[in-house]
Amino acid sequence: MTSFPNDLRYTHDHEWLRAAGSAWRVGITQFAVDQLGDITLVDLPKEGDLVTKGQRFGTIESVKSVSDLYAPVSGKVTAVNGSLKDSPEQVNSEPYGAGWMIELEPTEQSELSELMPPDAYAQHVAAQ
Amino acid sequence: MERKRTPLWQAHKQLGARLIDFGGWDMPVAYPAGTIKEHRAVREAVGLFDVSHMGEAVLRGPRVREAVERLTTNAVASAPAGKAVYTLLCRPDGGVVDDCIFYKRSDEEFFVIVNASNTAKDLDWFRDHTHSLCEIDDVSDRTALVAVQGPKAVELVDRLAGGDLAGLPSFGFTEAVVAGVECMAARTGYTGEDGFELACAADEAMALWTALIDNLPPGGLPIGLGARDTLRLESRLPLYGNDLDDDHTPLEAGLGWAVKLDREFIGAQALRDQKQRGLTRQLAGFTIAEDARAIARHGYAVVDRSLGTGEAAVIGTVTSGGPGICVGGSIGLAYVPVARAKPGTALTIDCRGKDTPATVVAGKFYKRTQP
């Protein structure tokens, strides 16, 4: 069974969040990466864009399929991983590191409490 | 429902493949190397494919040539023994039942390999349209099929066959013993590369596969269905269910070279009529530039916004699309009006709400440099 890093919080849509100062860094989990296969394109919002929890903030294309990225919490985009434009394969090789996608400054702090700790997310994955 | 397994399923598990449901079969979509590396391995070295899910049948009898003549658009019945022929099976209206390869063993026996998802339909089609002219033996369950493809494929197979196979011409086939396993070895494939497809008894498939894996040269890999699809698309080989179906004829699909209209076969009259009237739509290859950052996939609409109404007219449909792993950008096929199918024509494809510019190109996206 895949284990998931302890310092992260997770969503049902297989995204992770890591506290980065007052912002939260967002990426997709190893489980999501395994399902997608080789990733060829990642389309992300711009710095300063506002996103709403549950709404599409970007898309990710793998060789075989295209998927939406949903905002894990509402907030303002404070950083974007521009290196994914030329090297989307970093999402495959380092989903929790160089393959991060955006940083968000949450506007609704209460939404953070709905994120899952690693053990709850592992159960969610096991049930898939 | 329990997915069907090929005789090599255990090997895929051990190799760490990701298995998916493919038409009811539990098949490897990619091994740990991933689709992109697997794709390049076939272009640069050699790849092994388990395609045992495909259907196989033997048609035999004193009048089998008459039966095959009726079923096939290409000149299959009259081919010399030892020759494999790509052909379409057409309905009376010219729509495509399937595309497949017939192998002529003699004037009284043909072997045929059909698409996995069409096996039952095709076997019924054969039985319904040969009027007892021949015996039809479905050997799908007891036949395994392994494809070995890439610039190093011929050397690999030839060595395991004791040096008997390198001289086999393209689309030739022969009985051969490969790594101790009796095979039907054909110089065919679905990747645009040189290589072989090896059919053998299901219970001997593991011995053949293991010998091939153990003897893979540097750079060689097992290849999943993901790369099988990107390879065939780059070489512009059609996929039934995407680019070919009941509603389109082989002429519209650009497969006129596999349709010999001076013969009588099911659908011949409809195709002659269509050719005389002229085509209205055609399967066009298109490329999307790297900087457009988009992939046009199966089912996306080709649109025309020049009508001035503000509404986009849908003028065509993408049938296949994916990244051009060895050619850059992305590539695809779409049925469009004939006037829009000329090389150089600019198309607009609605990629999930984003108008994406594409350019029609002629011929294969990728063409190998070696003969």
**pLDDT in 10s for each residue of chain B, 371 residues:** 789 999 999 999 999 999 999 999 999 999 999 999 999 999 999 999 999 999 999 999 999 999 999 999 999 999 999 999 999 999 999 999 999 999 999 999 999 999 999 999 999 999 999 988 999 999 999 999 999 999 999 999 999 999 989 999 999 999 999 999 999 999 999 999 999 999 999 999 999 999 999 999 999 999 999 999 999 999 999 999 999 999 999 999 999 999 999 999 999 999 999 999 999 999 999 999 999 999 999 999 999 988 776 778 999 999 999 999 999 999 999 999 999 999 999 999 999 999 999 999 999 999 987 65
Interface of A with B (CB under 8 A): 34, 37-38, 40-41, 43, 59, 61, 63-64, 66, 85, 89, 92
Q: C-alpha angle B56/B160/B233, rounded to 5°? A: 50
Q: Is B361 exposed, middle or buried (0-12, 13-18, 19+ CB in 10 A)?
A: middle
Q: Is B329 left (phi over 0), alpha (psi -120 to 50) or beta?
A: left
Q: How far is CA B232 from CA A8, B199, B200, B249, B286, in A?
A: 41, 20, 23, 20, 15
Query: Which chain A positions have a beta carbon within 8 Å of B294's beta carbon?
Result: 41
Q: Is B242 left (phi over 0), alpha (psi -120 to 50) or beta?
A: alpha
The distance of A40 to chain B (nearest Cα, Å) reads 7
Token pair, residue A121, equals: 């997310």
pLDDT number for residue B1: 74
Give one DSSP letter per residue of A52-114, joined into a string: -TTSEEEEEEESS-EEEEE-SS-EEEEEE-GGGTT-TTHHHH-TTTTT--EEEEES-GGGGGG
pLDDT number for residue B323: 96
The distance of B230 to chain A (nearest Cα, Å) reads 8
Contact at CB, A66 and B352, closer than 8 angstroms: yes
- Give the closest of B30, B293, B295 to A37, CB-based: B30
Give me the phi and psi of B212, to 5 degrees please.
-65, -45
**Within an 8 Å CB–CB cutoff, is residue B42 touching chain A?**
no
The answer to whether residue A1 scores a pLDDT higher than 60 is no
The distance of A108 to chain B (nearest Cα, Å) reads 29
Per-residue pLDDT tens for A51-107? 999 999 999 999 989 999 999 999 999 999 999 999 999 999 999 999 999 999 999
Which residues contact residue B83 at a Cβ distance below 8 angstroms, ignoring those fewer than 6 apart?
A: B103, B104, B171, B172, B173
**Beta partners for residue B358, in sequence order:** B347
Query: Closest Cα to residue B102, out of B126, B132, B124?
Result: B126
The answer to whether residue A24 scores a pLDDT higher than 90 is yes
Query: Which chain A positions have a beta carbon within 8 Å of B36's beta carbon?
Result: 38, 40, 63, 89
Amino acid letter at B15?
Answer: L
Q: How far is CA A44 from CA A51, A60, B231, B355, in A?
A: 11, 9, 29, 17
**Beta partners for residue B347, in sequence order:** B358
pLDDT number for residue A46: 97
Contact at CB, A63 and B294, closer than 8 angstroms: no
Whole-angstrom distance, CA of residue A20 vs CA of residue A4: 18
pLDDT number for residue B131: 84
- Give the closest of A38, A41, A59 to B34, CB-based: A38
The distance of B181 to chain A (nearest Cα, Å) reads 34
pLDDT number for residue A3: 78
Query: Closest Cα to residue B29, out of B241, B222, B274?
Result: B222
Nearest CA in chain B to A37: B34
The whole-chain average pLDDT of chain A stands at: 95
Per-residue pLDDT tens for B107-118? 999 999 999 999
This prediction's pTM: 0.94
**Within an 8 Å CB–CB cutoff, is residue B298 touching chain A?**
no
Contact at CB, B295 and A38, closer than 8 angstroms: no
Whole-angstrom distance, CA of residue B245 vs CA of residue B333: 14
Which residues contact residue B127 at a Cβ distance below 8 angstroms, ignoring those fewer than 6 apart?
A: B136
Give yes or no for a contact between B283 and B253, defined as CB atoms under 8 angstroms apart: yes
pLDDT number for residue B370: 65
Per-residue pLDDT tens for B69-82? 999 999 999 999 99
pLDDT number for residue B306: 83
Entry field: residues in chain B:
371
Token pair, residue B318, equals: 């993408």
Using the structure block, give the residue that is written with the tokens 């007892």: B132
**Within an 8 Å CB–CB cutoff, is residue B91 touching chain A?**
no
Instruction: Give B140's DSSP letter.
Output: G
Contact at CB, B35 and A37, closer than 8 angstroms: yes
The distance of A12 to chain B (nearest Cα, Å) reads 22
The distance of A1 to chain B (nearest Cα, Å) reads 14
Whole-angstrom distance, CA of residue A31 vs CA of residue B363: 39
Whole-angstrom distance, CA of residue A52 vs CA of residue B289: 31
Contact at CB, B35 and A64, closer than 8 angstroms: yes
The distance of A27 to chain B (nearest Cα, Å) reads 20
- Give the closest of B36, B293, B352 to A63, CB-based: B36
Query: Which chain B positions have a beta carbon within 8 Å of A43's beta carbon?
Result: 293
Q: Is B2 exposed, middle or buried (0-12, 13-18, 19+ CB in 10 A)?
A: exposed
The share of chain A scoring above pLDDT 90, in percent, equals: 95
**Beta partners for residue B332, in sequence order:** B286, B321
Could you tell me the maximum CA-CA distance found in chain B, to the nearest angstrom?
68
* Test mutation, B18, B19, B35, chain A, max A CBs within 10 A: B35
Whole-angstrom distance, CA of residue B73 vs CA of residue B56: 19
* Test mutation, B295, B297, B327, B330, chain A, max A CBs within 10 A: B295
